[in-house]
Chains A and B, each alone.
Chain A
Amino acid sequence: MRPDPALARDQDLDSPRRDQDLAVPNGGAMAEHKAEMAREPKVRVEGLSVFYGGVQALKSVDLPVHANEILGITGPSGSGKTTLLRMVNRLNDRVRACRHEGRVYLDGREIYDPQEDVILLRRRVGMVFALPTPLPKSIFENVVYAPRIAGMRDRRKLEERAERALRGAILWDEVKDRLDDSALALSGGQQQRLCIARTLAQEPEVVMLDEPCSGLDPISTLKIEQALDSLKATYTIVLVSHNVQQAARATDRTAFLLMGELVEWRPTAEMFTNPRDPRTADFLEGRFG
């Protein structure tokens, strides 16, 4: 069993080697941390505005993400969903024209603080992209990519890590006999689950998925949703989807973005049965988007 990643949090902040810290279970502090987590969301976005050149992609968004929930972010294309994710792991840092106002906190610490280590942040906040992005390497090498660059050398540890990650992404049974085959030989759905496994293998605390099912058939989509459901015990999950049905099926809470504005965010069941804002109702009922 893998300990709750949030437990290792305090040690993480001081330690450059997270994977070692995570191996130490600490059951005693569980209750205390649970209580604390109820107060402080895992990720908190505060007054976040983002501009690409002169275009404003996000308009003062406030959004908490709680530990061990699946938060769905939905909205029509171009509403800023992807931008929001890319701000949380600072992937927009190198986009030249991108500029932001407001704050993003991970466990109460401002991630854009100049003192924060962006590499460490990205190891804690994993991201799966819309299109599967396997690297032109073997399945095994794809999965252990993150631990390897973090300096893990021990073959047995790497194999353990790979198996755990592949099981987490519900891909293990399909690939266990051909780990050395090229990842590019997998089907689209398998490649996407491989990308999820690759993100899990870095043992992040937050997993963000950007339209992970946009190019997939219904069966692959179902498998990914199953995987997510079993993963939320361990991780905090943010699922971006413009597919309303998916947001309804797979998430605990849903946030609705429209043209860079966060219209509302509420428990998914409530949002779908009784949306407060007329724009939400219009979108959910398919009147636009």
Chain B
Amino acid sequence: MSQQKEWPLWEVFIRSKQGLDHKHVGSLHAADAEMAIQNARDVYTRRMEGVSIWVVESKHIHASNPDEAEAFFDPANDKVYRHPTFYEVPAEIKNM
């Protein structure tokens, strides 16, 4: 087994209150998930910023490639008809 010295890196996600999504807030080092959650509490919620914490080891995050962002998100680019403002509604029509 390789002699790993540095604690692995974890990404931290916090739900600020019930009803809202967990949101990425930053990262930290910890030996395991339990310690990562405790450290996340001390580092990222000293002022009641959260009611729930997720941690994910950074190596498990897969991301889209920013260099290909333009082509990757292109399919949504020319479909203005997906937005309600595309449609004309007569002034007489209410509640639409």
Q: Do A and B bind each other?
A: no
Using a CB–CB cutoff of 8 Å, the interface residues on chain B facing chain A are: none
Using a CB–CB cutoff of 8 Å, the interface residues on chain A facing chain B are: none
